[in-house]
Amino acid sequence: MANITDSRWDALLAWLAQHGMDLGELCVEPRERPGAGYGLFASEDCPPSMKLFTIPASALLNWKTLSGHYASPKQLNATCLISLHLLLHRPQGEMESTDPLFGPYISILPRDFDSHPLTWLAKSKIAFEETIEQLLLEALPQDVREALDALWNRLLGDWKKVCQYVRHHPASLTRATRPLESKDFNESDQLLLEFLWAWLNVNTRCIFHRLHASISNPDNFTMCPILDFANHTPDSSMSMQPMPTNADIWGSPQRSKGGDDFTLMASREITTKGGDELCLTYGAHCNTTLFVEYGFVNVFTSDMIAGGSFRGEVNVQNVMAASFDSGERDRAAWLKSTLEDEGYWGDWTLHASPPPAHPSFRLITALRLHSLVASTSKPTMTWESLQPWRAVLLGETEIVSEDNEDSWRKALLRICETIQADAEKQLVSSHLVEESQGKSWGAWMADNIRLLWLERIYVSAAVIRSVETGDQF
């Protein structure tokens, strides 16, 4: 391994061995991966489905392994409980965490999340001077910024719960391995920034793990040493696979046990050569989600989007809503309430794959309604006159009418052109790369933002081509 100090890696392995891990079977190691921090690399050839390592249940950081150490743990969800624990035992400066439970694991976690957009947002809320982070935030597409604001609200909601918990249970601080006072869990911006570090560790490094009787319990996840060095691949055939646990197989965790061990296997489909990177597919996430939640994007080229081999996606919510609002006020209000009533308001997207590039069914549905009402001289429609549109929703017919098809496809072209034009303006006016040189991660993140805009241009262009060549969606 390179650059994570050998002593931290050695200490982690020694601690895992104390928990009963078989180090003899370990055939991966973390290494620096330019543009992604560290990654997990094969230390020998790994044939398909080869077992890579097993982390004992007691060394997993999750609700089960922590709850016994906190009073009334049910007052906290897993994200809050793990984040609080990380905060209480955060390494100070370059020192190691002295947490008697998870110290060697906490010590090897990232020490900061400066390149993460949620950190930019937190800093911009707290410090008011102009910073490069502020410029980067201003350069984001509006829907990405809205998704980031929603993530910020999730963070604040969890911070509030943790503050309430600590005020009710100040004794929880007596176990902290750093000086903290319960009054700080109220007003201190500095502590919110530290909570952010803990929370981002949880949010960017956890993986599904069945701990609770209900499979849909949102606390069914864990942080898992070593595995959490794995970077994301959008190609699921390359992805490592968690081995199904007893809880997965039997449909429920055993009551008496503290949860199952976690075993990771190599990709089912390919042999990974010694020295190659081993990745995980975090999920079929679009770039907006990857950027906001994890702080990176899947890289693509215009050809990949034009050919439909990249899962390019563009949210057109704001442009659509603006086009509704540009008409009569009563009509805009009626459109919104009708689409809300039918469950089709919002989440309107364009997609590059599978080809042909296409609008989502939700978007087509909204466009059909917009075109239908626009074809009348009235701001609203009666129940009867809406029936052709509802018949399409119910699958009774395929289209509202030929005219309606023609009209919404033209409206779609206008939306795509607006998105393209906006994005092109942003690219021309952006000097982000030069301005962000001062940060080690600046040019990389400026490039990620450029990709977010390029995706808008390429996907819109691909949808325009589909409409112009008469593709049916």
Ligand X SMILES: C[S@@+](CC[C@H](N)C(=O)[O-])C[C@H]1O[C@@H](n2cnc3c(N)ncnc32)[C@H](O)[C@@H]1O
Residue placing its CB nearer to ligand X in the complex, 53 or 348: 53
Alpha-carbon dihedral sign for residues 135, 141, 146, 151:
negative
Q: Which residue is nearest to ligand X (CB)?
A: 37
Q: Between 142-168 and 78-88, two packed helices, what is the crossing angle to 10 degrees?
A: 70
Residue placing its CB nearer to ligand X in the complex, 155 or 230: 230
Which among 45, 49, 56, 65 is positioned nearest to 22, based on CA atoms? 56
Alpha-carbon dihedral sign for residues 320, 322, 328, 332:
positive
User: Contact residues for ligand X (CB under 6 A)?
Assistant: 35-39, 110, 204-205, 228-232, 294-296
Residue placing its CB nearer to ligand X in the complex, 110 or 307: 110
Least Cβ distance, residue 31 to ligand X (angstroms): 10
3-class state of residue 223 by DSSP: strand
Residue placing its CB nearer to ligand X in the complex, 145 or 232: 232
Query: How far apart (Å, rounded) are the C-alpha atoms in residues 415 and 319?
Result: 7
Least Cβ distance, residue 33 to ligand X (angstroms): 6
Least Cβ distance, residue 198 to ligand X (angstroms): 14
State the distance between the two ends of the chain, measured CA to CA, in whole angstroms: 49
Least Cβ distance, residue 240 to ligand X (angstroms): 12
Instruction: State the burial class of residue 418 (Cβ atoms within 10 Å of its Cβ: 0-12, 13-18, 19+).
Output: middle
Contact 455, 306 (CB under 8 A): no
Residues near 213 by beta carbon (within 8 Å), at least 6 away in sequence: 252, 253
Least Cβ distance, residue 442 to ligand X (angstroms): 15
Which among 457, 441, 342 is positioned nearest to 133, based on CA atoms? 441
Residue placing its CB nearer to ligand X in the complex, 107 or 404: 107
Least Cβ distance, residue 58 to ligand X (angstroms): 21
Residue placing its CB nearer to ligand X in the complex, 39 or 73: 39
Residue placing its CB nearer to ligand X in the complex, 377 or 440: 440
Provide the β-strand partners of residue 279: 239
Least Cβ distance, residue 308 to ligand X (angstroms): 21
CA angle 62, 68, 73 (to 5 degrees): 75
Query: How far apart (Å, rounded) are the C-alpha atoms in residues 187 and 183?
Result: 7
Residue placing its CB nearer to ligand X in the complex, 70 or 113: 113
- Count the neighbouring beta carbons within 10 Å of the beta carbon of residue 108: 24
Least Cβ distance, residue 117 to ligand X (angstroms): 11
